[in-house]
């Protein structure tokens, strides 16, 4: 390759092995997602302690349980368009610093009001971090492994949530509920130092936004030194081009229906996830289990996200919409079964784990589905808006169970209602597939190259 050569960045990435530099990016993004899962789920695990210490009723918990979810939605909706204009790196660094600092401060809350406000701000940071980590990772992946790698990275979220459950079961009796929030604040601040030193900017973003060719060459050279011979860079897109940017792409005629179906599926998935993770410890305790047993069994639900790696492999080989839709259908069946198994602890443990595997496998695969659906000019917004709009499903799930308990639904009735969300998520992805059945066959289109 001579110095005047033009390099297609995605072709270049596709032709190289997934090397140490990409694994470093993966590790940093994985830890971001893991800490997101830990901080998001932490409030559910400390909820029983809040009931006792602050003399609250269960409906009183609804605002604090959902406050971070409102923040998550706001953070995602705002950060997506910003990342398509300012870059992925600056949004990642700022958001991790924000949610780490505010989570640490929230450990010193004196009442439900201040804690609710601080959980909202924590959510803003969390909501900005997650989609930008997904987008960053997706733009450094070879096409043949994108769904597998993103799903593997997204396993950090349920693993972080499960880790929060196991740590809470140990830390709260020993050090009190505030210790969980202290840990959830200190860890992201340490991660922010690593991000500042090692996290690069997305090469696809730099090409699309005509950043200096020296920066692109230097970033790609960390994947392979062959990039040092390139004089300029171009990019291909398998997704249809609209001529727009950010939200203009996501809401364009070519993408609107698919965007709406992604939002609906992710919304319904989070109805299931947050209704379960926030309320299962309390519901199981009310059903006769000890607080420790209720917390440990509930922690099995988010632990099941490791199944996303297998689904990622299937998504890279078969139709990804149908693969994820099938997983949501199985989720609906398994969540319904949780409500039927409360009288048998052994069976309950098994079903909660299986339901968690299916639920989190489906939900963890949605960012990869969104990242592949949009072109670079709208990918950051597309992923972020799916996560942001979907977060309202978490809010709905928290309030849904609060309302069901107020109406004295049985344990079985609560989980039968939650299971219906899985059916709707499955239907949404099948509609998306029928609307654009040949989307993967769209020919690649080259964008204008950078100057020397």
204 token code pair: 């696809």
Distance of alpha carbon 247 from alpha carbon 270, whole angstroms? 23
Q: Give, in order, the Cα–Cα distances in Å from 62 to each of 43, 49, 54, 179.
A: 11, 15, 14, 22
For the cut 50, the answer to whether the pLDDT of residue 368 exceeds it is: yes
Give the per-residue pLDDT at 240.
Answer: 55
DSSP state letters, 359-409: HHHHHHHHHHHHHHHS-HHHHHHHHHHHHHHHHHHHHHHHHHHHHHHHTT-
Distance of alpha carbon 77 from alpha carbon 177, whole angstroms? 31
> Which of the given ranges, 8-12, 23-27, 219-223, 253-257, has the highest pLDDT on average?
23-27
CA 328 to chain centre: 16
Give the per-residue pLDDT at 113.
Answer: 84
Task: Check if the beta carbon of residue 331 is closer than 8 Å to that of residue 385.
Answer: no
Q: Average pLDDT over the chain, rounded to whole?
A: 79
- Structural domains in the chain plus CATH codes: 5-446 (1.20.1250.20)
**Tell me: the pLDDT tens digits for 277-321?**
777 777 776 666 666 777 777 766 766 556 777 777 777 788 888
Give the per-residue pLDDT at 302.
Answer: 66
Query: Considering the chain, what percentage of its residues have pLDDT values greater than 90?
Result: 8
Distance of alpha carbon 308 from alpha carbon 324, whole angstroms? 10
Task: Check if the beta carbon of residue 426 is closer than 8 Å to that of residue 325.
Answer: yes
Distance of alpha carbon 80 from alpha carbon 135, whole angstroms? 10
**Tell me: the pLDDT tens digits for 149-167?**
887 887 787 778 778 777 8
Give the per-residue pLDDT at 288.
Answer: 65
**Tell me: the pLDDT tens digits for 388-441?**
888 788 778 877 887 787 777 777 778 888 889 899 999 999 988 886 644 443
**Tell me: the pLDDT tens digits for 52-83?**
778 777 677 777 877 877 888 888 888 877 88
For the chain, the maximum distance between any two Cα atoms, rounded to a whole number of angstroms, is: 74
Give the per-residue pLDDT at 452.
Answer: 30
For the cut 90, the answer to whether the pLDDT of residue 328 exceeds it is: yes
∠ CA 336-341-344, rounded to 5°: 170
pTM exceeds 0.75 for this model: no
Assign 265 a pLDDT band (cuts: 50, 70, 90): very high
Q: Where are the beta strands (DSSP E) in 18-91?
A: none
């Amino acid at each position: 390759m001579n110095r005047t050569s033009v390099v297609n960045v995605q072709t270049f990435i596709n032709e190289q092995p997934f090397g140490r530099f990409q694994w470093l990016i993966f590790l940093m993004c994985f830890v971001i997602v893991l800490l997101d899962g830990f901080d998001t789920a932490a409030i559910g695990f400390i909820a029983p302690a809040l009931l006792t210490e602050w003399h609250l009723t269960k409906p009183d918990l609804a605002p604090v349980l959902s406050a971070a979810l409102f923040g998550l939605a706001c953070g995602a909706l705002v950060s997506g368009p910003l990342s398509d204009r300012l870059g992925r790196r600056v949004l990642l660094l700022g958001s991790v610093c924000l949610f780490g600092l505010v989570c640490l401060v929230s450990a010193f809350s004196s009442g439900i009001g201040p804690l609710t406000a601080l959980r909202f701000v924590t959510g803003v940071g969390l909501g900005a971090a997650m989609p930008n980590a997904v987008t960053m990772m997706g733009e450094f992946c070879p096409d043949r492994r994108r769904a597998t790698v993103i799903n593997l990275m997204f396993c950090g979220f349920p693993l972080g949530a499960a880790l929060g459950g196991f740590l809470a079961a140990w830390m709260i009796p020993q050090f009190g509920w505030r210790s969980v929030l202290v840990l959830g604040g200190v860890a992201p601040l340490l991660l922010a130092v690593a991000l500042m030193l090692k996290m690069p900017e997305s090469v696809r973003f730099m090409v699309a936004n005509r950043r200096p060719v020296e920066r692109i060459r230097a970033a790609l050279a960390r994947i392979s030194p062959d990039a040092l011979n390139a004089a300029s860079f171009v990019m291909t897109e398998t997704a249809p081009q609209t001529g727009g940017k950010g939200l203009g792409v996501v809401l364009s005629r070519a993408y609107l229906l698919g965007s709406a179906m992604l939002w609906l599926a992710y919304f319904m998935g989070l109805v299931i996830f947050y209704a379960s993770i926030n309320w299962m410890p309390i519901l199981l305790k009310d059903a006769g289990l000890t607080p420790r047993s209720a917390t440990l069994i509930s922690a099995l639900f988010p632990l099941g996200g490791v199944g996303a790696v297998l689904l990622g492999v299937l998504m890279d080989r078969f139709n990804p919409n149908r693969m994820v839709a099938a997983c949501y259908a199985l989720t609906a069946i398994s969540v319904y079964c949780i409500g039927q198994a409360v009288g048998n602890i052994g069976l309950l443990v098994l079903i909660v784990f299986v339901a968690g595997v299916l639920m989190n496998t489906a939900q963890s695969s949605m960012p990869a589905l969104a990242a592949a659906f949009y072109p670079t000019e709208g990918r950051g917004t597309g992923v972020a808006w799916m996560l942001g709009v979907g977060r309202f499903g978490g809010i709905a799930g928290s309030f849904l169970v609060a309302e069901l308990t107020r109406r004295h639904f049985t344990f079985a009735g609560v989980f039968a209602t939650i299971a219906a969300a899985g059916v709707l998520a499955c239907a949404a992805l099948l509609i998306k597939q029928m609307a654009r059945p040949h989307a993967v066959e769209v020919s690649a289109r080259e964008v204008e190259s950078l100057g020397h």
